[in-house]
Amino acid sequence: MYRIALVGAGFIGGVHAANLAAHPEVDFALVYDVDADRATALAERYGAQVAVAENDVFDRDRIDAVLIASSTDTHARHLRSAAAAGIATLCEKPIDLDLDRAAAVVAEVQRAGILAMVDFNRRFDRDYAELHRVVTSGEVGDVHLIQMTTRGPTLPPLSYLAVSGGQMRDQTVHFFDLARWIAAADPESVFATGSTVIDPSLADLGDIDLSAVTLRLPGGALVQIDSARQIGYGYDERIEVLGSTGLVEARRHRTGSVSRYGRGQVADDGMHAGWFERVSASYRSSLDHFVSALQNRSPVGPTLSEALKAQAIAEAATQSLCSAKLEHVRYPAGSA
């Protein structure tokens, strides 16, 4: 049994709390939040204790691992605390919105040598994991082209968007990580272009709600990603990988398998209403993976280094949005 503490008792903290409580190898020991009431509510519901002070969490005598699900601007600080205490860490993305600060934290964590993983949970989605397996096994030959779609049902609140770092760093970054992981290669350059088709006021934030990104990989393989903040038909993501000998696709998910045949049309069950219905199972799988890594001291991924690389691509993509040019991706030293 691993004693795991949770930092952050907001929406995603609640998701993690339920998974921690249900996991047979985990003792959900402690929960901390700047808002003590939120922490208490979660603790009571799942039989955990409330940490009075932030530092209580980073106590190796009480805690084997910490799950960081607090607000983005606190991730770096908590990672440093965990590194200092020598406590294994599963951290929500991003490490820090500022790439240089993120790189500095990663360097510090690497020196401390703790087991650390960033929760790019989509790698643990059943279908994406299978797609990765197919590609890695060579079933479709060399990767030539990856097509990715990430589309949300509704524009997040402007207050959220204002501190999100923009669409590349907040939404598309998941697919930068997936692209690297699937292709087993670091993109060399990126072109991105975007628009505000949903809410023109986003332009005031320097942000967009629709974008098309192209990545170039070593050897000439290409990646296309379309990202939309708000679509009219639910939540939609999909990936297809064109290899030299075949294609593998992780198709759109539907809510069920019921078809209604009427005159001229057949209406099937549609898309999930929101992102959480689509990906919630992958949070459990990523926790499983982290716990296995604790057990086996096995290689843990996505590592902080890898998260840094995904951020570096987002950085170059953000630059390309302005320059309208293909931009070279500069990976930080720490992301070797």
Binders in 73-102 for a copy of itself, by CB under 8 A: none
Angle at 71 between CA 66 and CA 75, to 5 degrees: 50
The reply to whether 137 sits near a copy of itself by the rule CB under 8 A is no
Torsion sign over Cα 316, 189, 170, 23 = negative
Residues of span 306-325 touching a copy of itself by CB under 8 A: 324-325
Site string for a copy of itself, 8-47 (x = CB under 8 A): --------------x-------------------------
Shortest distance, position 10 Cβ to a copy of itself, whole Å:
20
Cβ-based nearer residue to a copy of itself, 166 or 243: 243
Query: Which of the 8 DSSP states describes residue 307?
Result: H
Q: CA neighbours within 13 Å on the CB side: how many for 163? A: 8
Residues 6+ apart with CB under 8 A from 289: 117, 124, 300
Which tokens hold the place of 38? 């939120």
Q: Which of 50, 87, 140, 279 binds a copy of itself (CB under 8 A)?
A: 140
Cβ-based nearer residue to a copy of itself, 7 or 223: 223
The reply to whether 52 sits near a copy of itself by the rule CB under 8 A is no
Q: Which of 59, 100, 142, 204 binds a copy of itself (CB under 8 A)?
A: 142
How do beta strands 222-228 and 210-216 pair? antiparallel
Q: Could you give the CA distance from residue 27 to residue 260 in angstroms, rounded to a whole number?
A: 46
Cβ-based nearer residue to a copy of itself, 76 or 210: 210
The reply to whether 284 sits near a copy of itself by the rule CB under 8 A is no
CA 14 to chain CA mean position, Å: 17
CB 311 within 8 A of CB 318: no
* Helix, strand or coil, per DSSP, at residue 108: helix
Q: Could you give the CA distance from residue 190 to residue 120 in angstroms, rounded to a whole number?
A: 21
Residues of span 194-253 touching a copy of itself by CB under 8 A: 194-198, 210-212, 214, 216, 219-224, 226, 228, 231-234, 236, 242-253
Q: Which of 86, 100, 269, 281 binds a copy of itself (CB under 8 A)?
A: 269
Shortest distance, position 52 Cβ to a copy of itself, whole Å:
27
The reply to whether 330 sits near a copy of itself by the rule CB under 8 A is no
Cβ-based nearer residue to a copy of itself, 81 or 318: 318
How do beta strands 116-118 and 88-91 pair? parallel
Q: Which of 144, 169, 174, 180 binds a copy of itself (CB under 8 A)?
A: 144
Identify which range of 72-80, 147-155, 167-175, 305-313 contacts a copy of itself by CB under 8 A.
Answer: 147-155
The reply to whether 152 sits near a copy of itself by the rule CB under 8 A is no
CB 188 within 8 A of CB 222: no
The reply to whether 184 sits near a copy of itself by the rule CB under 8 A is no
Torsion sign over Cα 107, 305, 229, 10 = negative
Please provide the DSSP assignment of 166-186 as one string.
-HIIIIIHHHHHHHHHHHTS-
Q: Which of 37, 100, 139, 204 binds a copy of itself (CB under 8 A)?
A: 139
Cβ-based nearer residue to a copy of itself, 74 or 230: 230
Q: Which of 11, 61, 159, 258 binds a copy of itself (CB under 8 A)?
A: 258
The reply to whether 297 sits near a copy of itself by the rule CB under 8 A is no
Size of the site for a copy of itself (CB under 8 A): 75
Neighbour count for residue 58 (Cβ, 10 Å): 23
Which tokens hold the place of 161? 């968007």
Q: CA neighbours within 13 Å on the CB side: how many for 256? A: 6
